[in-house]
């Protein structure tokens, strides 16, 4: 007799789990048979060392359906308030052209692609990145630009270390213009301290008098002022210093670019070229420099080469600077950057072309000038007499009341000081917006400004109209700095200006690439390439996308709730006590984790602990990160099977016992094996006073099965773009949460150690992806995903072993094959003949 399914069975709350995993029960039975295991549980029991296996399941809510998860997240999103933003400070509202929004940002052909290591399947996005690099070199007037940085603040910090490496000065002081963006200053302070760099903030015109190796100038300044620093730059360089300019890309369409002013390095954000503010990220930052500095420049660089047939072809260039080759001597630990936002910014430039970009900039500048004229006729003083898009208005004791007027009407101004307000305009500002801004000031309930200074036609309580004021406005861009050189002359920026032309260009490039929408991508074992559409849908909701990261906290309650829930779930998955979601890539999480260890030792008066043990099998990012926090790397040996040599480790621990700061391990190993003595390893390092860093790159094999925070890890970083479904975007954005045990919680970013990213919540706008994934999978689904990953890797290993044996496995027991974790490295040397040296290249981002 057929049984009737129950209602809860019909509701099928865990529908998504099967859709995500994809392996059917019938497939699974065949796979288990092939690997010689009675059940999935039995296989896992055999592979995950008993000493570290989780005792209790993760306390993560049970799965709900796609529709239910979207509804639940919508309710959280609704707690964010979308206000008109005049805050500026590096984040501006922008129109993402519809053709780019739908065909790039919301298109899996672009967002699911992997990092372009395999040039032959990445020509499309590498062309987009060449466009990005061309856009940056043209607009900044510099000869060389990389393919994006994580945010303006980290780009500035990387520029500082580049100047230190490449410059000639022996000074260890870094000067910063006192009109720099505050978040940039905060990140630079964090980065400078472990490297022994003294950071000094001073007015730009005092820079010459200071002994320093480099200076950072903001152009235009945070206050809005547009200074001509040409002479200062020339004199400063004569003294042997390096000049870095943080420049606004839209302003550069109208202003003499940094390269022509004499700067050595230019950095900045490209956010306002079509990427939503997203509560602070993801956005692509840029870095450009003089040709002499190219080998010291961090990050990825796309170049044009020729293929075997002699045709032009794109490829990554100058990779020997990067950490997978140079390890602790790398220029930086950055791997994942912001490829998808960089592609969007480059497409924005292709869409508008030089004429369109200039028109936008001129409109912003004109509205700013009219705004200033109106404020002055109301009797207010604008502190900066030069401006592009930002005014600092002296508001005295009316400050709070004006800001409150703005809030009441759904607008945010920037509190520049207790007695002044900042207003930044952008592409979206209209005449009506300018009139509304005047009304906030006109209606201020205070004696400010005093009547004597009130203009004839203006005055408090009287509404100004745009047409009245327009004729009174004088241009605020200094004439001596107006740009005379052309930019974006390349045909790509001047060809695709019809709607269909643009659509076809985007489609043509994506057709050159392989991404998840067409096939699996077997490279980058630790990077998950399963990104469900439902996970992506929330990221462009205005409640997540149109939020300024420095808006009042009560407007970001939805983000706060998202942050709290996601952190709680990730704590469950890792066994750690505290997590910060601020790091906007794995490299940043790793850096933040090492900073926490360093700060912990320092807090106990043990700053001498500066030795970091790293096994020879580690990915290059590990030594690069340890070096960035001022630690000295000591390499420990691995045996022929790729496992950590415990005898050598013991010897090194004893040798460096007094100065041991940390050991960095990857688990399961970069060779894809669960090493059996990881618990003993952690205990050994602890017994010598060191802390254990467990690189979370391979968490795909651990979620639900074993927790680093339980088996001896003190710190880990996760890659939400590896384990928690954020798509790789062709090389970013990522999110690299840093997770710590209880006694290290005080040393998470933003509390014990400083900020590591520009925005408090890093790449906030992509966090809904991981939230959706966890919510639709539930604890059981997340665990099943890890189990099936392990089963699948072992199945592949077994099925291919006759032809391509797996290089590293566990020791075979009971006649069963040697086991791997969630990945297997196949020996394909016979394909190239016996003369090719064995390489077990471990690339990841």
Nearest in space to 584 (alpha carbons), one of 345, 771, 335, 347:
335
- Pairing relationship of beta strands 632-636 and 660-666 according to DSSP bridges: unpaired
**Closer of 202 and 318 to another protein (Cβ):** 318
Per-residue b or e along 58-91, where b marks 16 or more CB atoms closer than 10 Å to that residue's CB: bebeebbbbebbbeebeebbebbbbbbbbbbbbb
The minimum distance between CB 318 and another protein, in angstroms, equals 9
The minimum distance between CB 843 and another protein, in angstroms, equals 12
User: Contact at 8 Å (CB) between 185 and 201?
Assistant: yes
**Closer of 165 and 189 to another protein (Cβ):** 165
- Over its C-alpha atoms, the chain yields an Rg (Å, rounded) of 28
- The DSSP bridge partners found for residue 282 are none
**Closer of 235 and 292 to another protein (Cβ):** 292
Window 358 to 377, contacts with another protein (CB under 8 A): none
Phi-psi region of 240 (alpha: psi -120 to 50; beta: other; left: phi over 0): left
User: According to the binding rule CB under 8 A, does residue 838 interact with another protein?
Assistant: yes
- The DSSP bridge partners found for residue 633 are 612
**Of 44-52, 319-327, 387-395, 682-690, which segment contacts another protein by CB under 8 A?**
319-327
**Closer of 161 and 582 to another protein (Cβ):** 161
**Of 184-192, 317-325, 404-412, 453-461, which segment contacts another protein by CB under 8 A?**
317-325
**Closer of 321 and 671 to another protein (Cβ):** 321
Residues 782-821 vs another protein: string with x where CB under 8 A?
----------------------------------------
Candidates 320, 494, 616, 830: give the one binding another protein (CB under 8 A).
320
The minimum distance between CB 119 and another protein, in angstroms, equals 13
**Closer of 254 and 302 to another protein (Cβ):** 302
Residues 287-306 vs another protein: string with x where CB under 8 A?
--------x-----------
User: According to the binding rule CB under 8 A, does residue 835 interact with another protein?
Assistant: no
Phi-psi region of 550 (alpha: psi -120 to 50; beta: other; left: phi over 0): alpha
The minimum distance between CB 640 and another protein, in angstroms, equals 13
**Closer of 281 and 620 to another protein (Cβ):** 620
User: According to the binding rule CB under 8 A, does residue 830 interact with another protein?
Assistant: no
User: According to the binding rule CB under 8 A, does residue 26 interact with another protein?
Assistant: no
The minimum distance between CB 523 and another protein, in angstroms, equals 17
**Closer of 318 and 366 to another protein (Cβ):** 318
3-state DSSP call for residue 844?
A: coil
Window 443 to 472, contacts with another protein (CB under 8 A): none
The minimum distance between CB 313 and another protein, in angstroms, equals 15
User: Contact at 8 Å (CB) between 301 and 318?
Assistant: yes
**Closer of 79 and 165 to another protein (Cβ):** 165
**Closer of 26 and 308 to another protein (Cβ):** 308
74-80 long-range Cβ contacts below 8 angstroms, 24+ apart: 74/538, 74/541, 76/558, 76/561, 76/562, 77/538, 77/541, 77/543, 77/544, 77/558, 77/768, 78/543, 78/558, 79/557, 79/558, 79/561, 80/543, 80/544, 80/547, 80/555, 80/556, 80/557, 80/558, 80/559
Q: How many residues bind another protein (CB under 8 A)?
A: 8
The minimum distance between CB 838 and another protein, in angstroms, equals 7
User: According to the binding rule CB under 8 A, does residue 837 interact with another protein?
Assistant: yes
**Of 155-163, 324-332, 428-436, 711-719, which segment contacts another protein by CB under 8 A?**
324-332
Secondary structure E strands in 542-680: 578-580, 611-615, 632-636, 660-666
**Closer of 327 and 556 to another protein (Cβ):** 327
**Closer of 78 and 325 to another protein (Cβ):** 325
Candidates 325, 445, 482, 658: give the one binding another protein (CB under 8 A).
325
Tell me the C-alpha distance between 597 and 581, whole Å. 17
**Closer of 520 and 837 to another protein (Cβ):** 837
Residue 712 dihedral angles phi and psi, to the nearest 5°: 130, -5
Q: Which residue shows structure tokens 């109208």?
A: 254
The minimum distance between CB 325 and another protein, in angstroms, equals 6
**Closer of 116 and 220 to another protein (Cβ):** 116
If you write DSSP's letter for every residue of 325-391 in order, what string do you get? HHGGGSS----S--HHHHHHHHHHHHHHHHHHHHHHHHHHHHHHHHHHHHHHHTT-EES-SS-SSEE
Residues 637-676 vs another protein: string with x where CB under 8 A?
----------------------------------------
Residue 102, classified by CB atoms within 10 Å of its CB into exposed (0-12), middle (13-18) or buried (19+), is: middle
**Closer of 320 and 657 to another protein (Cβ):** 320
Tell me the C-alpha distance between 129 and 107, whole Å. 17
Candidates 19, 329, 408, 431: give the one binding another protein (CB under 8 A).
329
User: Contact at 8 Å (CB) between 323 and 300?
Assistant: no
The minimum distance between CB 545 and another protein, in angstroms, equals 41
**Closer of 308 and 837 to another protein (Cβ):** 837
Per-residue b or e along 610-627, where b marks 16 or more CB atoms closer than 10 Å to that residue's CB: bbbbbbebbbbbbbbbbb
Helices in 409-487 by DSSP H: which ranges? 431-442, 466-470
Structure tokens at 240: 């042997």
User: Contact at 8 Å (CB) between 90 and 186?
Assistant: no
The minimum distance between CB 321 and another protein, in angstroms, equals 8
Tell me the C-alpha distance between 606 and 280, whole Å. 36
**Of 67-75, 325-333, 416-424, 519-527, which segment contacts another protein by CB under 8 A?**
325-333
**Closer of 106 and 827 to another protein (Cβ):** 827
Residues 238-277 vs another protein: string with x where CB under 8 A?
----------------------------------------
The minimum distance between CB 638 and another protein, in angstroms, equals 15
The minimum distance between CB 590 and another protein, in angstroms, equals 21
**Closer of 33 and 320 to another protein (Cβ):** 320
Window 717 to 746, contacts with another protein (CB under 8 A): none
**Of 318-326, 473-481, 538-546, 587-595, which segment contacts another protein by CB under 8 A?**
318-326
The minimum distance between CB 312 and another protein, in angstroms, equals 18
The minimum distance between CB 329 and another protein, in angstroms, equals 8
Side by side, the strands of the sheet bearing 414-417 are 381-382, 390-394, 420-424, 414-417
**Of 74-82, 322-330, 643-651, 720-728, which segment contacts another protein by CB under 8 A?**
322-330
Nearest in space to 287 (alpha carbons), one of 264, 265, 309:
265
End-to-end Cα spacing for the chain? 55
Structure tokens at 193: 């301290």
The minimum distance between CB 328 and another protein, in angstroms, equals 11
Nearest in space to 86 (alpha carbons), one of 505, 521, 434:
434
Q: What distance lies between CA 478 and its chain's CA centroid?
A: 35
Candidates 40, 165, 189, 326: give the one binding another protein (CB under 8 A).
326
Residue 556, classified by CB atoms within 10 Å of its CB into exposed (0-12), middle (13-18) or buried (19+), is: buried
The minimum distance between CB 320 and another protein, in angstroms, equals 4
Residue 506 dihedral angles phi and psi, to the nearest 5°: -60, -45
Tell me the C-alpha distance between 729 and 398, whole Å. 46
Nearest in space to 93 (alpha carbons), one of 339, 520, 362, 433:
433
Residues binding another protein (CB under 8 A): 295, 320-321, 325-326, 329, 837-838
């Amino acid at each position: 007799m057929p049984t009737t399914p129950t209602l809860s069975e019909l509701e099928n709350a865990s529908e998504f789990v099967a859709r995500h995993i994809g392996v059917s029960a019938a497939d699974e039975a065949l796979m288990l048979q092939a690997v010689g295991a009675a059940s999935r549980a039995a296989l896992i029991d055999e592979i995950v060392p008993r000493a570290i296996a989780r005792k209790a399941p993760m306390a993560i809510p049970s799965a709900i359906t796609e529709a239910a998860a979207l509804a639940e997240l919508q309710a959280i999103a609704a707690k964010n308030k979308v206000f008109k933003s005049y805050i500026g400070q590096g984040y501006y509202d922008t129109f993402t052209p519809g053709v780019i929004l739908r065909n790039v940002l919301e298109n899996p052909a672009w967002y699911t692609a992997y990092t372009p290591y395999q040039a032959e399947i990445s020509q499309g996005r590498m062309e987009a990145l060449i466009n990005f690099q061309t856009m940056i070199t043209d607009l900044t007037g510099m000869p060389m630009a990389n393919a994006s940085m994580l945010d303006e603040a980290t780009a500035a910090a990387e520029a500082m270390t580049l100047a230190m490496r490449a410059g000639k000065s022996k000074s260890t002081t870094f000067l910063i213009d006192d009109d720099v963006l505050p978040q940039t200053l905060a990140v630079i302070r964090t980065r400078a301290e472990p490297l022994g760099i003294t950071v000094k903030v001073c007015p730009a015109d005092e820079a010459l008098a200071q002994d320093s190796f480099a200076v950072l100038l903001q152009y235009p300044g945070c206050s809005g002022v547009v200074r001509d620093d040409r002479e200062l730059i020339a004199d400063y360089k004569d003294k042997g210093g390096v000049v870095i300019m943080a420049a606004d890309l839209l302003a550069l369409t109208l202003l003499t670019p940094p390269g022509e002013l004499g700067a050595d390095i230019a950095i900045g954000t490209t956010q306002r070229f079509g990427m939503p503010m997203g509560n602070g990220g993801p956005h692509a930052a840029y870095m450009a420099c003089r040709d002499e500095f190219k080998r010291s420049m961090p990050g990825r660089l796309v170049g044009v080469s020729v293929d075997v047939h002699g045709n032009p072809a794109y490829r990554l260039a100058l990779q020997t600077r990067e950490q997978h080759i140079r390890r602790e001597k790398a220029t930086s630990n950055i791997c994942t950057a912001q490829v998808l936002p960089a592609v969007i910014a480059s497409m924005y430039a292709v869409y508008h072309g030089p004429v369109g970009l200039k028109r936008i900039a001129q409109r912003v500048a004109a509205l700013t000038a009219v705004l200033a004229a109106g404020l002055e006729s109301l009797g207010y003083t604008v502190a900066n007499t030069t401006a592009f898009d930002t005014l600092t208005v002296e508001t005295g004791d009316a400050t709070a009341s004006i800001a409150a007027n703005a809030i009441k009407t759904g607008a945010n101004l920037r509190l520049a000081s207790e007695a002044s307000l900042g207003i930044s305009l952008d592409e979206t500002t209209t005449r009506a917006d300018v009139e509304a801004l005047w009304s906030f000031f006109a209606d201020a309930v205070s004696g400010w400004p005093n009547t004597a200074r009130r203009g004839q036609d203006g005055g408090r309580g009287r509404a100004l109209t745009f047409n009245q004021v327009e004729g009174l406005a004088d241009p605020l861009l200094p004439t001596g700095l107006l740009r005379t050189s052309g930019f974006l002359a390349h045909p790509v920026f001047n060809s695709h200006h019809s709607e269909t032309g643009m659509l076809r260009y985007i489609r043509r490039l994506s057709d050159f690439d392989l991404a998840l929408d067409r096939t699996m991508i077997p490279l980058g074992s630790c990077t998950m390439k399963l990104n469900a559409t439902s996970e992506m849908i929330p990221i462009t909701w205005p409640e997540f996308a149109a939020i300024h990261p420095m808006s009042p906290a009560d407007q970001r309650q939805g983000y706060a709730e998202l942050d709290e829930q996601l952190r709680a779930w990730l704590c469950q998955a890792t066994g750690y006590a505290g997590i910060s979601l601020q790091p906007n890539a794995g490299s940043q999480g790793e850096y933040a984790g090492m900073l926490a260890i360093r700060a912990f030792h320092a807090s106990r008066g043990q700053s001498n602990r500066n030795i970091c043990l790293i096994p020879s099998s580690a990915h290059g990012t590990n030594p690069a990160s340890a070096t960035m926090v001022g630690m000295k790397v000591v390499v420990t040996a691995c045996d022929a099977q790729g496992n950590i040599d415990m005898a050598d480790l013991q010897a090194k621990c004893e040798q460096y016992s007094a100065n041991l700061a940390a050991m960095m391990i990857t688990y399961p190993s970069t060779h894809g094996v669960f090493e059996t003595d990881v618990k003993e390893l952690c205990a050994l390092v602890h017994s010598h006073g060191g802390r254990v860093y467990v690189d979370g790159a391979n968490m795909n094999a651990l979620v639900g099965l074993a927790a680093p925070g339980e088996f001896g890890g003190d710190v880990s970083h996760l890659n939400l773009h590896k384990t928690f479904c954020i798509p790789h975007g062709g090389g970013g954005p990522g999110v690299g949460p840093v997770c710590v045990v209880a006694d290290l919680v005080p040393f998470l970013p933003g509390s014990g150690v400083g900020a590591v990213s520009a925005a408090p919540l890093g790449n906030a706008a992509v966090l809904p992806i991981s939230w959706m994934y966890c919510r639709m999978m539930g604890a059981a689904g997340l665990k099943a995903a890890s189990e099936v990953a392990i089963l699948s890797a072992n199945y592949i290993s077994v099925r291919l072993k006759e032809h391509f044996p797996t290089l590293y496995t566990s020791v075979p027991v009971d006649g069963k094959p040697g086991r791997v974790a969630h990945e297997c490295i196949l020996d394909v040397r016979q394909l190239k003949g016996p003369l090719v040296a064995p390489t077990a290249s471990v690339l990841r981002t």
